[in-house]
Amino acid sequence: MTISQDARKLAEDPVAFFEHSHKRAHELGRAELDQLQLEALRWRFAELRNRIGVLTALADEQDVKDITTFESVVPLLLAHTVYKSYPVSLILKKKFSLLTKWLGRLTTVDLGAVPADECDSIDSWLNAFDQNTALQVTMSSGTTGAVSFLPRSTREWDRWWRQTRMTLCGAAHADGIDEPDEMYDVVWPTFRRGYTVQYRTAPWVMKHFAGSEEHFFAMSDEMVSADVLFLAGRLRAANARGEQLQIEEGDFRPRLAKFERMQHEIAHGAGAFVDRIAGKLSGRRVLSIGAPPVLVAMAQDGISKGMSGVFEPNSIITTGGGAKGATLPDDWQKIVRDFMGVDRLIDLYGMSECNGSHVLCGHGRYHIQPWVIPFVLDPDTSAPYPREGVHVGRFAFFDLTAETYWGGFVSGDEVELDWGSCACGQSSPHLAQNIQRYSEMRGGDDKISCAAQPEAHAEAINFLNGELV
């Protein structure tokens, strides 16, 4: 195959490119990986430049017609806030046709078949995409009072979880190779349905790990309403400002009360869930994906009942995302391992905008997946730091596997990235564990400067919101 063919295969199907081997994905030499990634980046840009409205506007403003170096794509990276740049009044006034027009400028998928005029809630609007397009739009939890919407296609969701299967199963196997026919009982310690990335993930985890519904065990089959998440986020943001939000009459108050009850049941439901899964899955090989506080609560409850080593030792227990504000025991990982019966927890770093997560190695470093091109930007100017040595700054990346939306993002995270070799033997660039949110470091303010010409970025936002107000 030519370099162009190899690069396209890397972008379109990393699992096939690396032959299901997580190990092989992280042993490419730097020169070979750079060549493949740059060629794949040029191809993706050429494919999408004139098909995604906001990218076309941004590239036209700066007269970018080709990508010749990694650095030349940095002015085209979109701040993560772009995906919530719509006027919030569109939701409050139920103007879902205009919100659909806004979203259509961020995707290659034709949204003409979406009956947005018939939608009277965020739930009905998001469901309309599921029913009438190739998209499964995901939303953020809206903890700051605004929610973002990312238009990911079902093909991209499927690719993401094929890649994640290679990552998790490969990381768990001594030879680093995933055996695609191996199935797992999935322990899912949260809600089964909803529109945030966590709940959107559930059916794909079921497909690629459990294989059927009978092997998927969720703590709750309840649906988490997008409208209630949006309202709850606005209430929290108003309270933080010392304001009182007026809630419209209707069914929002009982729905909010139900949501709060559901959250309480999840937070305090570890005991009943542990009894259920221990009874059915003792000695079985399982996959479980959970935040540290949830896994600790399950483990502590089980241990208090005399349970330990519940599952097969070759089970896969993954975690990530930090303590979520909870206080964890110093030995929390040992507590979880002892209860679950595994020697290792697989710690992941990722975000909803990226099709894949980065695995923590035995030397405490998150290794960047080879289909993701990382950047570290100066937090004040967004200029990229050199692609060598060690740098601390704002994490940005280009996800080569994104095909219906632009894969270039500037995140809200401060990271330390090392381009050199790691003591674990993997050749991929790697991040330190001490990842922080700029919004937390700056008292809630995370103003992202733009590596593009300021007027170009402003024009792109104007294009997104044109004719919406």
* 3-state SS, one letter per residue, for the chain: CCHHHHHHHHHHCHHHHCCCEHHHHCCCCHHHHHHHHHHHHHHHHHHHCCCCHHHHHHHHHHCCCCCCCCHHHHHHCEEHHHHHCCCCHHHHCCCHHHHHHHHHCCCCCCCCCCCHHHCCCHHHHHHHHHHHCCEEEEECCCCCCCCCEEEEEHHHHHHHHHHHHHHHHHHHCCCCECCCCCCCEEEEEEEEECCEHHHHCHHHHHHHHHCCHHHEEEEEEEECCHHHHHHHHHHHHHHHCCCCCCCCCCCHHHHHHHHHHHHHHHHCCHHHHHHHHHHHHCCCCEEEECCHHHHHHHHHHHHHCCCCCCCCCCCEEEEECCCCCCCCCCCHHHHHHHHHCCCCCEEEECCCCCCCCEEECCCCEEECCCCEEEEEECCCCCCECCCCCEEEEEEEEEECCCCCCCCEEEEEEEEEEECCCCCCCCCCCEEECCCEEHHHHCCCCCCCCCCCCHHHHHHHHHHHHCCCC
Q: Which of 105, 70, 199, 165 is nearest to 355 (CA)?
A: 165
pLDDT in tens, 218-258: 999 989 999 888 888 887 777 777 777 666 656 567 777 77
Of the candidates 438, 352, 423, 455, the one whose C-alpha atom is nearest the C-alpha of residue 139 is 352
pLDDT at 36 over 60: yes
Chain-centre distance for alpha carbon 86: 21
Residues 194 and 374: their CA atoms lie apart, in Å, by 30
For the chain, the average pLDDT equals 90
Residues 143-160 have a mean pLDDT of: 91
Least confident of 87-91, 238-242, 279-283, 314-318: 238-242
Mean pLDDT confidence for 15-39: 95
What is the structure's pLDDT at 454? 59
Locate 261 and state its tokens: 């009850």
Average pLDDT for 307-335: 88
Look up residue 280 and give its two tokens. Answer: 């059915």
Supply 426's token pair: 């993997």
Predicted local distance difference test score (pLDDT) of residue 439: 72
The reported pLDDT for the residue numbered 446 is 61
For residue 30, pLDDT over 80 is answered with yes
pLDDT for position 252: 66
- Give the residue-averaged pLDDT of 12-25: 95
User: Is the pLDDT higher at 431 or at 452?
Assistant: 431
Tell me the C-alpha distance between 397 and 381, whole Å: 16
**What pLDDT, on the 0 to 100 scale, is given for residue 444?**
58
CA distance 356 to 8: 18
Q: Is 184's pLDDT higher than 80?
A: yes
With a cut of 60, say whether residue 136 has pLDDT above it: yes
Which of 410, 402, 359, 363 lies closest to 384 in space, CA to CA?
410
The answer for residues whose C-beta is within 8 angstroms of residue 467's C-beta and 6 or more apart is: 98, 101
Task: Give the pLDDT confidence of 89-130 residue by residue, as tens digits.
Answer: 999 899 999 999 999 999 999 999 999 999 999 999 999 999
pTM value > 0.85:
yes
Give dist(CA 358, CA 348) in Å, integer. Answer: 5
Q: 274: buried, middle or exposed (CB in 10 Å: 19+, 13-18, 0-12)?
A: buried
Given a contact cutoff of 8 angstroms between Cβ atoms, the answer to whether 245 and 234 are in contact is yes
Q: How far apart are CA 322 and CA 331, in angstroms?
A: 15
Does residue 443 surpass a pLDDT of 70? no
Q: Calculate mean pLDDT across residues 211-218.
A: 96
Average pLDDT over residues 317-343: 87
Question: Quick one: 377 exposed, middle or buried, by C-beta within 10 A (0-12, 13-18, 19+)?
Answer: buried
Half-sphere exposure of 40 (CA within 13 A, CB side): 28
Token output for 229: 């998440």
Phi, psi of 368 (to 5 degrees): -70, 130
